[in-house]
């Protein structure tokens, strides 16, 4: 669809959701729209890389269930790093079950995701009850937010245009919790002067995985990549999610700096600054 020509500052000032506001404020203060997808399996390696790349990211995306030596102490250390470097934490849990089950998966188990994660995500295959279930967990917690998977990066995925439209409708009905989408394009109308706190003109944040600087051509399991400039200037994304191109790089700091400058310049071009 369209892209959003408002600045992150303008969007922060108007956004009704505290997690969206914090994210935009972090992006502005650190001049970065990079999210590190830290898909490593050792907690020490995750913490070490996060400490190194913390200054360059606005958001850290985890897959907590792939960690082989998970221990609750890991959560405290990760939360300390989020304060030290000023980034939010996004657990890419992709919930996909009925409301009553996701309540236990999000709030309980050994990971207690809702307690320490600012943002998580879900599929809406089960219908809107999944969002109601997840939201119910957050009632007595500090502000928490949800992203809905509206499109996927992988070849042959089953998220049709019709599915995407329904996902957007579900988001519009839940703007007190849903702040955006995991998507390949801006799937909802961009915010503008008529942006409202909720409903059809809500300002949703688009986060895009399957992003890489030139040189990485997918993998043997169907992953597909778009370059950062196209993702931001043509497809209208707000946050670039990058995994292997950072965490397998021999010099991840230099690589992260390349993403930060490419991503930020593309954003400035989009807002015409």
Closest CB 96 distance from ligand S5P, rounded Å: 12
Shorter beta-carbon distance to ligand S5P: residue 103 or 246: 246
Shorter beta-carbon distance to ligand S5P: residue 66 or 268: 66
Closest CB 195 distance from ligand S5P, rounded Å: 26
Closest CB 20 distance from ligand S5P, rounded Å: 18
Q: Which of 242, 256, 260, 266 binds ligand S5P (CB under 6 A)?
A: 242
- 172 is a site residue for ligand S5P (CB under 6 A): no
Determine the Cα–Cα distance for residues 93 and 107; give it in Å rounded to an integer.
12
Closest CB 155 distance from ligand S5P, rounded Å: 11
- What string marks each residue from 44 to 63 as x (binds ligand S5P by CB under 6 A) or -? -------------------x
Per-residue CA distances from 250 to 58, 111, 207, 227, 244 (Å): 22, 30, 26, 20, 11
Phi, psi angle pair for 239, to nearest 5°: -130, 130
Find the distance separating the first CA and the last CA of the chain, reported in whole Å.
Answer: 22
The sign of the torsion formed by the CA atoms of 115, 240, 65, 123 equals positive
Shorter beta-carbon distance to ligand S5P: residue 39 or 97: 39
Q: Which of 33, 138, 223, 226 binds ligand S5P (CB under 6 A)?
A: 223
Report DSSP letters for 203-259, one per residue. -PEEEE-SB--TT----TTS---B-HHIIIIIS--SEEEE-HHHHT-SSHHHHHHHH
Shorter beta-carbon distance to ligand S5P: residue 39 or 115: 39
Which residue minimizes CB distance to ligand S5P? 243
- 243 is a site residue for ligand S5P (CB under 6 A): yes
Q: Which of 210, 228, 236, 263 binds ligand S5P (CB under 6 A)?
A: 210
- 152 is a site residue for ligand S5P (CB under 6 A): yes
Segment lying near ligand S5P (by CB under 6 A), choices 64-72, 137-145, 148-156, 256-264: 148-156
Closest CB 61 distance from ligand S5P, rounded Å: 6
Closest CB 161 distance from ligand S5P, rounded Å: 16
Residues that bind ligand S5P (CB under 6 A): 37, 39, 63, 92, 152-154, 182, 209-210, 223, 241-245
């Amino acid at each position: 669809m369209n892209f959003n020509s408002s600045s992150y500052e303008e969007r922060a000032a108007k956004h009704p959701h505290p997690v969206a506001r914090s994210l935009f404020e972090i992006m502005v203060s650190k001049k970065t729209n990079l999210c590190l997808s830290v898909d490593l399996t050792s907690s020490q390696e995750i913490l070490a890389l996060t400490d190194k790349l913390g200054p360059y990211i606005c958001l850290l995306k985890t897959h907590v269930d792939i960690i082989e030596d998970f221990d609750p102490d890991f959560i405290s250390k990760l939360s300390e790093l989020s304060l030290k470097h000023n980034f939010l934490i996004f657990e890419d849990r992709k919930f996909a079950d009925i409301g009553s089950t996701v309540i236990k998966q999000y709030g309980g188990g050994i990971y207690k995701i809702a307690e320490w994660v600012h943002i998580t995500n879900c599929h809406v295959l089960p219908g809107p009850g999944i969002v109601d279930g997840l939201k119910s967990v957050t009632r007595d917690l500090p502000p928490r937010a949800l992203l809905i998977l509206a499109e996927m990066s992988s070849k042959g995925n089953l998220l049709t245009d019709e599915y995407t439209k329904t996902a957007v409708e579900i988001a519009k009905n839940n703007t007190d919790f849903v702040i955006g989408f995991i998507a390949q394009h801006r799937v909802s109308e961009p915010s503008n002067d008529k942006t409202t706190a909720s409903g059809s003109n809500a300002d949703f944040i688009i986060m895009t995985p399957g992003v890489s600087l030139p040189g990485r051509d997918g993998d043997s399991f169907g992953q597909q990549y778009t370059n950062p400039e196209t993702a931001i200037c043509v497809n209208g994304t707000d946050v670039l999610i990058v995994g292997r191109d950072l965490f397998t790089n021999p010099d991840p700091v230099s690589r992260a700096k390349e993403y930060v400058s490419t991503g930020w310049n593309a954003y400035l071009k989009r807002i015409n600054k």
